[in-house]
Structure 1
């Protein structure tokens, strides 16, 4: 670090290179932040892993849940990174204001600013996916196993529109850049449903998958391009403007791409290999890098694959045997924003069952593992006496950059808010926070207890202070 500071001061290292090095170090240093808790107001008794049903946990703090039934989905608004919404297995939805936290170094218990409970007008079954309206945080979308897609007003949590899709809805996606306001819904039916928020109609069905659609993601570069993944192992690329919308399929055996493997016909059009499969098992995870250059897919074959979005070629990034993925539902993952790291050094954040892996996107090696503080198996005994035991799986993760979701200022923490964090949802009912470890944090130094500082450390500080004062106190004159 000192060498890098010297290189920057001497002009050998530019400010952008130094900033990327610093943010890369922060991205690799996330650790649990147990001082931040989410209390949804539900009461009961937590049962620890392996604990007999007659012996409830005596810790009062363990009886705080965001959703006692288990948190199944999360979403964070992308502008200020302030409003977090969470959905539960009991069909409830809660909104949290992350700006409640006065200082990121002080413990804080978040309380929901609004709640939506199960009712005839709201959802009846578990929430499967949540997302904010892309251009304004005043609205958000939710889908559920009750076969509906709903549009809500954030202010007052009022229902604005409801769409019955006729099948269980596993996921939905809305483009972050498009003006067409089409919501792609993956359901139990093999056809992808497109819902137009403007007209309130199901305007199109994209037929071609051989089973339920578990994953969907719009391109962040081309507003009409959509990628979807299915239980049949296929990942299809669509252009929703075309009558025959399918424009490509990803093939895990193709390391050259559509335009380089002899599939270009005499008419200049690309012929698609009908048997192409991205994975040998159901595909339940899809995301794009935020510059649209790469597509990342994940499947039940315990493989994560990275694809060149321009050609469709498999980059052959190997993520090793540690990947765990068996849940029949959409998996949320994300990549670090382009620009925070050096080109070609982007990171992938993957919810790996009971932990979150930070992986190098292009060579697949594990950078670090974010392991939760809760038990692997969690039980909850409600006030009514009912008890449930679940595997404490991570169901969703969201990214909060400094100054907003995915902000260009990265993960640097500062100011009075909790900027630069990852939030994860868990089936034990908790929402957990993860923050980067900042070396030499001024707040920590000011809050140090003098009794806890070793004598040697105090002497070194005094010596450095004396040197600094002696240098700054001498006036230098030139004759």
Structure 2
């Protein structure tokens, strides 16, 4: 931290907003792997198929992550074998484990013990493809799986409160961050978006318009009734769930004018759309597709903003990718992070210029999911190596290693 800046802030010579902006930019600019917060997810070696990828039915690789936005304290982890774990990120009573696998970076890393564990005998039978906290209350969370179900869980008892059976593989689901309604949008391997009502435990209605599987979805942080979905047909659609003709617009990468929201010529990507995310203010949208392109859109006009994000990104087909945009109103330039399994890293870009800013490395195997911890400027990511890695500001450091190094240097000729 800049002592001169702190001095001027103490004297009131600079505005609080300027000081906050400086601090956020500095912390983001110094992101590094935080060894002291490395979380061991599982010690069970994953089985492999002939293609070298984990066996989705039996391994405990990290498939999905979610950090609640109220206190930014509790972490949910969905596994490849269908189990779910709950962690307290502020826990300080963890003990060093002597059972850490040989592929971890430090034999003395502190392992956080899960507060709760839902085994696959109780939870999902297959991969937990997506997991989310209820936006207004940490006493509730939801999960979706390739076993064709969306489950609602009581956090206190870790028991199922409700189960929605969709009869098709579920790729993702989404809550409205505004909490105005209780609808959960679920995307499946059929060309439909199903809206599940948490209040009634039944399906509200179905959105039709996609011509193939629907991979990803997200509600607008500005309009509680505006939903965005991306499908294997290459289209990104905006919906108003209150209307009978719900599809408002289909985004087009060439910005062609057409008043028909279901126009078949409008495509956002030349292949499947694998991930999308609104910015914090809800005015812009980022999408990533298996055509290996990232695109930025103006939500109000539907225009493609033609930002060049450089080299083609390694993105595979028919799997949801987490697009993480930190909710930092005072940060400039605003970053966007996407984990890529082929490069074993999380890559970050300047949202508006497309300049590459980060290549967060440290994973030994593909990284498939990521989540941002607001207020701490930390990025959590997991993947096939069964670990949850943390990147944070340089000031975090590894306190244990620093203290050990200080003691090693504190000697004299009399010792």
The normalised TM-score by structure 2 is 0.85
SS at match of 2:126: coil
Quote how far apart the aligned CAs of 1:209 are: 0.4
In the aligned structure 2, how far is the partner of 1:367 from the partner of 1:271?
Answer: 36
In the aligned structure 2, how far is the partner of 1:6 from the partner of 1:100?
Answer: 33
Q: How many residues align?
A: 387
Paired residue for 1:399?
Answer: 372
In the aligned structure 2, how far is the partner of 1:287 from the partner of 1:90?
Answer: 27
Query: Are 1:40 and 1:111, in contact at CA under 8 Å, matched by a contact in 2?
Result: no
Query: Are 2:280 and 2:329, in contact at CA under 8 Å, matched by a contact in 1?
Result: no
What are structure 1's unaligned runs of at least 5 residues? 48-66, 255-260, 265-269, 376-391, 403-410, 412-419, 454-479
Query: Are 1:291 and 1:338, in contact at CA under 8 Å, matched by a contact in 2?
Result: no
What are structure 2's unaligned runs of at least 5 residues? 49-57, 95-107, 411-415
Paired residue for 2:243?
Answer: 242
Structure 2 residue corresponding to 1:358, chosen from 319, 344, 348: 348
Quote how far apart the aligned CAs of 1:40 are: 4.7
Structure 2 residue corresponding to 1:321, chosen from 311, 318, 324: 311
Seen in structure 2, the aligned counterparts of structure 1 residues 196 and 31 have a Cα distance that, compared at 3 Å, is same
Seen in structure 2, the aligned counterparts of structure 1 residues 89 and 320 have a Cα distance that, compared at 3 Å, is same
Quote how far apart the aligned CAs of 1:401 are: 2.0
Structure 1 residue corresponding to 2:382, chosen from 425, 431, 446: 425
Quote how far apart the aligned CAs of 1:444 are: 9.5
SS at match of 1:27: helix
In the aligned structure 2, how far is the partner of 1:85 from the partner of 1:77?
Answer: 8
Paired residue for 2:67?
Answer: 76
How do 1:431-450 residues align onto structure 2 when only pairs under 5 Å count? 431-438=388-395, 449=406
How do 1:8-407 residues align onto structure 2 when only pairs under 5 Å count? 13-40=14-41, 42-43=43-44, 69-101=60-92, 107-119=109-121, 121-254=122-255, 263=258, 273-342=263-332, 345-353=333-341, 354-372=344-362, 374-375=363-364, 392-402=365-375
In the aligned structure 2, how far is the partner of 1:281 from the partner of 1:441?
Answer: 43
In the aligned structure 2, how far is the partner of 1:140 from the partner of 1:330?
Answer: 19
Quote how far apart the aligned CAs of 1:45 are: 9.6
Query: Are 1:139 and 1:153, in contact at CA under 8 Å, matched by a contact in 2?
Result: yes
In the aligned structure 2, how far is the partner of 1:444 from the partner of 1:112?
Answer: 24
Query: Runs of 4 or more off by more than 3 Å in structure 1?
Result: 1-13, 39-47, 261-264, 270-274, 439-448, 450-453
Query: Are 1:349 and 1:359, in contact at CA under 8 Å, matched by a contact in 2?
Result: yes
Query: Are 2:216 and 2:275, in contact at CA under 8 Å, matched by a contact in 1?
Result: yes
Quote how far apart the aligned CAs of 1:101 are: 2.8
SS at match of 2:24: helix
Quote how far apart the aligned CAs of 1:439 are: 9.0
Query: Are 1:28 and 1:358, in contact at CA under 8 Å, matched by a contact in 2?
Result: no
SS at match of 2:90: helix
Query: What RMSD over aligned residues (CA atoms) do the two structures have, in Å?
Result: 3.0
The normalised TM-score by structure 1 is 0.74
In the aligned structure 1, how far is the partner of 2:231 from the partner of 2:354?
Answer: 23
Quote how far apart the aligned CAs of 1:272 are: 6.3
In the aligned structure 2, how far is the partner of 1:400 from the partner of 1:369?
Answer: 18
Quote how far apart the aligned CAs of 1:350 are: 1.3
Query: Are 1:39 and 1:112, in contact at CA under 8 Å, matched by a contact in 2?
Result: no
Query: Are 1:263 and 1:272, in contact at CA under 8 Å, matched by a contact in 2?
Result: no
In the aligned structure 1, how far is the partner of 2:239 from the partner of 2:338?
Answer: 25
Seen in structure 2, the aligned counterparts of structure 1 residues 21 and 40 have a Cα distance that, compared at 3 Å, is closer
